[in-house]
Amino acid sequence: MNIDYKKLKLKHWFEDENGNIVDEDDPKACFYRHCFPLEFHEFLDEYCYHPQNPIVKFLCRKSRALDKWLSKGKDKTFKQILDCTTTYGSGSDCIVAMVNSGDFTLEQAIWVYANSCERCMNVLCYKYLDGKDGYAEFSDEWKKANTECEFCKGL
Ligand SMILES: [Zn+2]
C-alpha cells in the first residue's frame, strides 16, 4: 500500500474526473469532495399518519385532537424529520482506550461516546484515560455539569 494522507488533511477538495486534486478555478475541476471519517451520522424518522391532502395536513398540525381522530385506522408512514451529524474526533483517544479495554467494540464505543452528554463524556475520559482527563461519576464536577442524556438520566 502507498497511503497518502494529503486528502485526509484537506477535508474538502476539488478533483478532476480522474480523482486528481485540482484548484477550484481549474477548468478540469468537476467534483467537490468532502471527507469526515470521525463523524457520526444519525436520522430520525417520524412514524405516524401523514395525510396527503395539504389542507388536512395543515389542520392536523394545528389540532392534535383532529390528527388523532383522523389517524385512527390509517397506516403509519415514515417521514424524515431530523438528519444530524456530530463529530467525535475530540474523543479519539478515549474511544481507542474504550475499545482497547475490551469493554466495547469499536461500533459501541463510537455510538456511546457520540451520544453521551458532557458529563458522561468526562466520565468516560476519566475512566478510560486513567484519570488524565475528565472527572469521576458522582464527583462535584459531575454534579455541577448539570447535563443529562439517556446514559445518566435518573442517576
Ligand atoms: Zn449523560
Quick: pLDDT tens for 104-146. Answer: 999 999 999 999 999 999 999 999 999 999 999 999 999 999 9
Cα(121) to centroid of ligand 1, in Å? 7
In this structure, are 8 and 19 located in the same domain?
yes
In this structure, are 83 and 100 located in the same domain?
no
Q: Is residue 58 part of a domain?
A: yes
Average pLDDT over residues 31-59: 91
Cα(17) to centroid of ligand 1, in Å? 46
Cα(83) to centroid of ligand 1, in Å? 21
User: How much is the pTM?
Assistant: 0.79
Q: Specify which residues 40 forms β-bridges with.
A: 86
Average pLDDT over residues 69-78: 88
Average pLDDT over residues 39-67: 90
Cα(4) to centroid of ligand 1, in Å? 38
pLDDT tier for residue 61 given thresholds of 50, 70 and 90: confident
In this structure, are 93 and 141 located in the same domain?
yes
Which residues have a Cβ under 8 Å from the Cβ of 106 and sit 6 or more positions away? Answer: 95, 99
Cα(99) to centroid of ligand 1, in Å? 19
Q: Is residue 139 part of a domain?
A: yes
Cα(11) to centroid of ligand 1, in Å? 30
Cα(114) to centroid of ligand 1, in Å? 11
DSSP string for residues in 54-109: HHHHHHHHH-HHHHHHHTTTPPPEEEEEEEEEEE-GGGHHHHHHHHHTTSS-HHHH
Q: Is residue 141 part of a domain?
A: yes
Q: For residue 55, what pLDDT is reported?
A: 92
Average pLDDT over residues 68-93: 91
In this structure, are 95 and 136 located in the same domain?
yes
Domain of 128?
89-145
In this structure, are 102 and 140 located in the same domain?
yes
Q: Is residue 125 part of a domain?
A: yes
Count of structural domains, the chain: 3
